[in-house]
Amino acid sequence: MNINTQLGMRIRYLRKKKGLSQEDLALDSGINKNYLSDLERGMRNPTVNILEKLAVALEVSLSELFMGIQSFED
């Protein structure tokens, strides 16, 4: 599983844990709902600024956002 897919799953997990819809998280983080949907499906490669916005909206640190995600060398 690639890192974008893992990150998307982690964002979805944290969003659901907080009881937020995609629309709620998109509004709270100031990003487009369709972009967030693509992120959660591993279809986007987010910038650090986007990741920071999501971490703030989810009330987690950047390191917590990446917790459990592993990179595999090809």
pLDDT cut 70: percent of the chain above it? 96
pLDDT at position 5: 93
Classified by CATH at the fold level, domain 3-59 comes out as: 434 Repressor (Amino-terminal Domain) (1.10.260)
pLDDT at position 73: 56
Query: For the chain, what's the residue count?
Result: 74
Per domain, the residue ranges of the chain are 3-59
Query: What letter does residue 70 receive in the DSSP assignment?
Result: -
When pLDDT is cut at 50, 70 and 90, the band that residue 72 belongs to is: low
Q: List, in sequence order, the alpha helices (H) in the chain.
A: 3-17, 22-29, 33-40, 48-58, 62-65
Q: Quick check: pTM over 0.95?
A: no
List own/partner pairs for 45-48 with CB under 8 A and 24 or more apart.
Answer: 45/4, 46/7
Query: What letter does residue 32 receive in the DSSP assignment?
Result: -
Q: What is the pLDDT of residues 1-41, one digit of tens each?
A: 889 999 999 999 999 999 999 999 999 999 999 999 999 99
